[in-house]
Amino acid sequence: MKFLETMSLNTKLTALIMAVAFFALMVGFTIITALDARHFREELIADSILNAKITAEYCIGDLVFDYKDEASQALEKLSLIGNIDHAVIYDIHENIFASYAHDGKKFKCKSPGIPTSLKETYTKFINAELAIYEPMTYKGKFYGTLHIGVSTTQLTKKIWNRVKLIIILVLCIAIIIFLLTTRVQRLISQPILQLAEITKTIASKQDYSIRSILKRGDEIGVLSDGFNSMIKTLEEKSRERDVATAELIKAHNELEDKVTKRTAELRMANKELEAFTYSASHDLRGPLRRMDGFASLLEQNYSDILDDDGKEYIKKVKNNCQHMTEIIDNLLKLSRIIRQEMDCSAVDMTTLVKEIIKRLQNSEPERQINIIIAKGIEARGDKGLLMESLENLLENAWKFTKKTENPTIEFGMIKKEGQNIYFVKDNGCGFEMKYLHKIFKPFQRLHTMDEFPGTGIGLSTVQRVMERHKGQILAESELNKGSTFSFTLWTDDKQPFTII
């Protein structure tokens, strides 16, 4: 029925009315034809029975007195009735007494179709013939049977003529109905088509000022009024939307201007901060270098007149100058990490870890540490920043396992809910989890410089790197049993990559 969906409303209404009307006509005329055929048949039977009774009365005397020639002459007069095909008189012994055939056929044997002990008129249709059997009696005594064979050709022809007439009538009525339907369906469909055209125009031009001008008192008039009311509401909504859109565009432009202005201010502030950082670094490094230089001169030129306390003081001055220089370097590094542009690419994390461990082993070849590095670990991010993070994590693990027997450092990765989680694990001194909130803040140390030297900026740097990669870092630790630092990387670039 999909083809109906593509038809126009005019075609659908016309087809529907024509189908219903044609069906009703066919049912009605079929009933009429059946009734006419039945009437024609009953009429043929009645006429044939009347002819048989008249002929039997006329020929009963010939049968009683055995006048065969006279009986045959009487039967031949039936030729005047055009539809009688043949007639036969059978005596009481069912032998042929006299006969007549339209085609000259002679009946020489008894008919197998004669009903025995016939007492009243008997009719029967055999193929294309109506057989009439009329008993021949005289003064209540049965003497024989008259059989008349009536052709049904005229009956069939009569019925077919009626059918042809009905077909012509049906076609004529169908044409009249079609013409009336075309006119009637226009009264129904034309207003609906007008509304559809208006809807199409409104949709294409977005013009909500168009209205339907149909004024009727029926359901189509109600539909037209409802359509106009709906378009009016849409017009108001469209006007409100246009106002809101204009305000939104204005707010968007103002926001873009503010963002542009804030971005320019931020860039200027970053440049000023960078200039200040390097200026402050230079201003701080100069006095530190001079202090370290003067301490070295005192140690070289006056060591013979300095006592042990004086030498210890000079050593502390030089150590603190070196420590202050490391703090300045780390602060500059942290500032650079926050500001620098990221260059994300595929990174072989396993190779980076191996390079860092090799450098640490070369710095302290005497230390024997069990190193476990998982193979084929990959990530995507800024290679330099990831190297910086891994250096801080692995250097901490190297440092805090210094006083541990059988030290172990492990780097690996696990998958959890589709997320890659990288970790650095050691069995060093560890820390109490109640101090977890301090370890990622700059200069927040959990150990003294004498226990484990450092600047207190390394983990802050790692956290900034993870934030730049839209990731996070977590720590789990137990005092004197070691620590595990886990981190995730959620970079914006989700394209597949290969190991570099």
Say which residue the tokens 């990831």 belong to.
386
Say which residue the tokens 């087809």 belong to.
15
pTM higher than the cut 0.75: no
Distances (CA, A) of 42 to 155, 162, 232: 10, 16, 72
**Cα distance between residue 86 and residue 390, in whole Å:** 124
Q: Torsion over CA of 13, 17, 19 and 24, rounded to 10 degrees?
A: 170
Give pLDDT tens digits along the chain (500 positions): 555 556 666 676 677 777 887 788 788 878 888 888 888 888 888 888 888 888 888 888 888 888 888 888 888 888 888 788 888 888 888 888 888 887 766 554 445 556 656 678 888 888 778 888 889 888 888 888 888 888 888 878 888 888 888 888 888 888 888 777 777 666 666 677 777 777 777 777 777 677 766 666 666 667 667 777 777 787 778 778 888 888 889 888 888 888 888 777 666 665 655 555 655 555 566 676 667 776 777 777 777 777 777 767 777 777 666 656 666 665 666 556 666 677 888 899 999 999 999 998 998 899 899 999 999 999 988 888 888 889 888 988 888 888 888 999 999 999 888 889 999 999 988 888 887 877 777 656 666 555 666 566 778 888 888 888 888 889 998 888 889 999 998 644 443 323 22
Token pair in block for residue 126: 């055999």
Say which residue the tokens 């057989």 belong to.
131
Contact between residue 121 and residue 53 where contact means Cβ atoms under 8 Å apart: yes
Determine how many CB atoms are found less than 10 A away from the CB of residue 195. Answer: 17
Q: Torsion over CA of 427, 432, 438 and 439, rounded to 10 degrees?
A: 0
Domains and CATH numbers, the chain: 2-172 (3.30.450.20), 341-487 (3.30.565.10)
Going by their DSSP bridges, the two strands 344-348 and 378-382 should be labelled as antiparallel
Q: 197-204: which pairs have CB atoms within 8 A and are 24 or more residues apart?
A: 198/227, 199/227, 202/231
Q: Is 89 exposed, middle or buried (0-12, 13-18, 19+ CB in 10 A)?
A: buried
Q: Torsion over CA of 177, 178, 180 and 182, rounded to 10 degrees?
A: 160
Determine how many CB atoms are found less than 10 A away from the CB of residue 226. Answer: 11
Determine how many CB atoms are found less than 10 A away from the CB of residue 263. Answer: 10
